[in-house]
Structure 1
């Protein structure tokens, strides 16, 4: 295809979870590959060893229950294509789980609703496996969420890279370093549990473990467990905070709990708090001992609503005496360097000038730079007026900024290996190849594909596979056939309007498949 010469990144929507697919993408000219969220560490390592282009993985945020790029549920049910950015959140709906005789096994539960990903404790392992870019899911997230989560992972990744340098760890014989320069100074302590979350999971990074990946109770944010209900009064209650609670309850907080009668998530706002005595805006139906979660941390969000970070580049300045006047050399931590010559008469000074010069040159204000060091090289003390130093400083900063723009190296499109691409392209492709236009069809046929089905959005197959999931409802409900052969079969998901979706369980691959019911 005749595309602009820009670097192409293979989205996770392209269903990238095997070394073979990664090799195909590299041959097609992609410069970076975003892997499927379900990809375990060992497969990540195998993919990173197979290709030369950087591998990117998700590290935090909301999860899709189906392999991305292989979910057609939203299109099937609501005519809104997830592959076109219009997902209607089918997986966050409540379902009944029924057997072949329509007997209800589980009623009105969010059986496809996953927790949020949090792999903050496995950054070192992912670096060891060859990950070169970490992706944070952030669709529709607010400013406070973005500030907190990005700051947390920036700090965690910097610490991991420093550990690798100290321990002499390398990847393919090379040290790993940051892809950017500068340091951010924060006015707050990043804490992941204090921002929007549905509970956390590492989501199959270490394979299938006992750690739950779904939350059948609610698709909404619950936040962190902060305590238990103590004594309940008519208009207030006491809370027994856990030792892990990051801060006391304050007015404006949002708290929630699981209603024991209905089994649903209920929430309320705090009008005021006096020590451990909490006064809600409306008194909920609470029972002593009930777990309480903080879904909205009002004080923390207020803190994040203010300016919270400043990112700066360190600079080294040298002021030199020349025959015609003075010169200033500036080098920042990225290696960008400039030198400026200034004609100015040499005037002897009766007193040391270093402090005054450093004071003027360090006034870098709202620029992205800070003064790290100053070297003065002259034959004797010289007097330079503060106004002149300020003018030279502004000139140097503007020149340094221009140098950065001129030195920027754009990443261009990779070269297509047509011979290898033809070898790797299948002869037959079904609707999951998502071929929806003549250019995509032409690309595949030119590289050897003989039978090519149209995309699901163009022609929906009868009784089509609409979801392929690593999450297994049977496993989560302890109904695995490997453990109990008497488990009912077949099983269906059923919406309140009566629509049913047959489930198929591939125990060899440990995957669950959701189908559209045949008419």
Structure 2
């Protein structure tokens, strides 16, 4: 038998799914409103439905968490907080958030409202969990890729609750680090509108030639994971320290919710040995893309990816669907209550209802009379008190004090029973004992955070370079830049010496995903160049927290932090960052609000192949037949390969350590819009050189000349035109934004 204190958390995308989850044994549910959540295409709940959902769940002892887990635009923040206020007042048990700025404001305005860090925050290590703990979060939804041993380490060294996925669809990319849907089609996963490009077919190719590597891996679903199914290893997950077991599926039908919740409830209550072959058949039949135990259990390559087809292969039988519907079409949850009733002549009738220490007493307006023709019996009174079929209670014990010959209308007894139940319900529904916030007080508090004086600043027109290879560094003109982010190891010290001699800023570039062992290695690396760097660039909240409390360097917040609004930027400024790179998903209008509301050093990407996916999965493992990732550091497939989509677009793919990065098919190039971007308040334009080996110096020189006013408009336009014809370009989201 497993730990019954562990929470079983079910997905709810509709009212029927709510009934299915609760009636089949969920301890808690998570759901979204019509706005501000990462499943915009689920049915979701309007305000009245949210209120009803919380009342329904609370009466049955079930908690409700509401997802507000997207990046919030500056213009949306006030409406989002008004929505949070409504959720607070209808007694929601917790809010699941991704946006740092929103989290910061919630803790200021609603300090006792529990916050859960969404998996979109990419928390994969102990420093990340501690960062949220210090910020006041009660729970973190860990990245789906975190190994069991790392989960145990986080659990043993923090006080924050850990939540993890146990069943359902998987993202192939680290959640919060996927830009593929956004960049290709404008539908952002960080905004809840992902178009799921991971479920599309691709061919594995030699990137330079574009040739397919194998006929067997031409047009395969190499990015489409199988569905997670951990029911047979649930004990290991519980033992690791996960406090809340999360089922995915807010867009699934209620029958799916019923079947999956029911079986995981059974496994938790009776042990995993209680799960029969028939149970496993039901789980398989209700929905699956093939099953995997997931990356934490070291499933890898062909064990992890459903490469032949990306869709559901299950066909649930009418036997199964009817059983699932039956499980939530009636009330299965009943709580025992006691009633004691006094019906004494010439006195008001009195009913006392007792439930788990609660005692509710009600008296009638009418006095009991002596019966003339009709008198009450204890049996008749008991029958009326026991009429509880439309409630979540059953009468476990009744004591009736009845004078002989007493008469009271049956309607009065029924009225007393209904009123007592209503009062008990009101007490039980109010899980969190909150008082409504006075409107004037709320408006006064919130106005402090929405009063801005537009920051006036000189356009500094700085240029920075991000380099991942020593060969790239050897091509640049070190005089024509202001800052360098160094992301290579070979020749690192020599490069840093040259940067310092030239009087330029040097920042060490860190990886998006770092676990305990990676951080230990990074510490040694930083110590070896301590006197040669000005700062460290971080792309993960865990790395940010780790650097801040281990070193005394300037910290730059990189694009992995997903800075989408001025509130997030201001929070990071207060936390101690020197500068940050804006999210590639912001447009010009958003940039202006971001950069002019708080004084800070802002950077925007002006050139480069954007990283579209950061994955633990390696698509090349499918071709090579890798059974695990133990040999990834020495893998001969690390470089020079890519994916080709159905439109013939090529995406470069590179494996570094145990992380795969997929890059966009064309680079961002906003050379002809450089002055506009600076005028919006950006201090620095960054050139990202990733897998490129040639032409780096030319790109650097034209950007530098344009930034410093040394290139004519004609020269700039001529360069852009020739570059576009040679390679193709995109302006990203600067002039379109995301949905």
TM-score, with normalisation over the residues of structure 2?
0.50
Match of 2:298 among 183, 207, 223: 207
1:301 is matched with: 321
1:329 aligns with 2:364: no
Q: Deviations over 1:38-91 (max 9, x none)?
A: 122222222223332322111221111000001111122112221111211111
Taking structure 1 as reference, are residues 485 and 367 closer, same or farther at Cα in structure 2, changes over 3 Å only? closer
Residues 421, 447 of structure 1: 8 Å contact kept: no
2:624 is matched with: 478
Match of 2:647 among 497, 508, 512: 497
Matches of 2:547 and 2:343, distance apart in 1: 64
1:399 aligns with 2:423: yes
Residues 642, 652 of structure 2: 8 Å contact kept: yes
Show the 5 A alignment for 1:267-346: 295-305=315-325, 308-321=329-342, 324=347, 326-332=349-355, 335-342=357-364, 344-345=367-368
Matches of 1:421 and 1:395, distance apart in 2: 56
**Greater Cα shift, 15-24 or 322-331:** 322-331
Match of 2:565 among 415, 418, 437: 437
Provide structure 2 residue ranges, at least 5 long, that are not aligned to the other structure. 1-103, 437-544, 587-603, 668-726, 728-739
Matches of 1:154 and 1:309, distance apart in 2: 18
**Greater Cα shift, 115-124 or 202-211:** 202-211
Q: Deviations over 1:473-500 (max 9, x none)?
A: 2333335593996658521111122211
Residues 556, 577 of structure 2: 8 Å contact kept: yes
1:15 aligns with 2:122: yes
Residues 302, 622 of structure 2: 8 Å contact kept: no
Provide structure 1 residue ranges, at least 5 long, that are not aligned to the other structure. 164-187, 224-294, 413-419
Match of 1:72 among 168, 175, 179: 179
1:104 is matched with: 212
For residue 503 of structure 1, report the CA deviation from its aligned partner: 1.5
2:313 is matched with: 222
Residues 127, 546 of structure 2: 8 Å contact kept: no
Residues 58, 137 of structure 1: 8 Å contact kept: yes
Residues 368, 408 of structure 2: 8 Å contact kept: no
Q: Deviations over 1:363-401 (max 9, x none)?
A: 113222222333446798977664443232112112212
How many residues of Structure 1 are paired with residues of Structure 2 in the alignment? 413
Matches of 2:555 and 2:180, distance apart in 1: 27
| Secondary structure, aligned partner of 1:131 | coil
Residues 12, 68 of structure 1: 8 Å contact kept: yes
| Secondary structure, aligned partner of 2:174 | coil
1:512 aligns with 2:666: no
Residues 151, 190 of structure 1: 8 Å contact kept: no
Residues 56, 131 of structure 1: 8 Å contact kept: yes
More helix by percentage: 2
Taking structure 1 as reference, are residues 397 and 299 closer, same or farther at Cα in structure 2, changes over 3 Å only? same
Taking structure 1 as reference, are residues 422 and 37 closer, same or farther at Cα in structure 2, changes over 3 Å only? closer
| Secondary structure, aligned partner of 2:219 | strand
For residue 103 of structure 1, report the CA deviation from its aligned partner: 3.1
Matches of 2:175 and 2:558, distance apart in 1: 16
For residue 298 of structure 1, report the CA deviation from its aligned partner: 4.0
Q: Deviations over 1:322-375 (max 9, x none)?
A: 874553332335x54322244744869x99955433322121132222223334
1:457 is matched with: 585
Matches of 2:625 and 2:547, distance apart in 1: 44
Taking structure 1 as reference, are residues 189 and 345 closer, same or farther at Cα in structure 2, changes over 3 Å only? farther
Matches of 1:121 and 1:489, distance apart in 2: 37
| Secondary structure, aligned partner of 2:624 | coil
TM-score, with normalisation over the residues of structure 1?
0.70
Matches of 1:31 and 1:311, distance apart in 2: 31
Over the aligned positions, Cα root-mean-square deviation in angstroms equals 3.7
More strand by percentage: 1
1:136 is matched with: 247
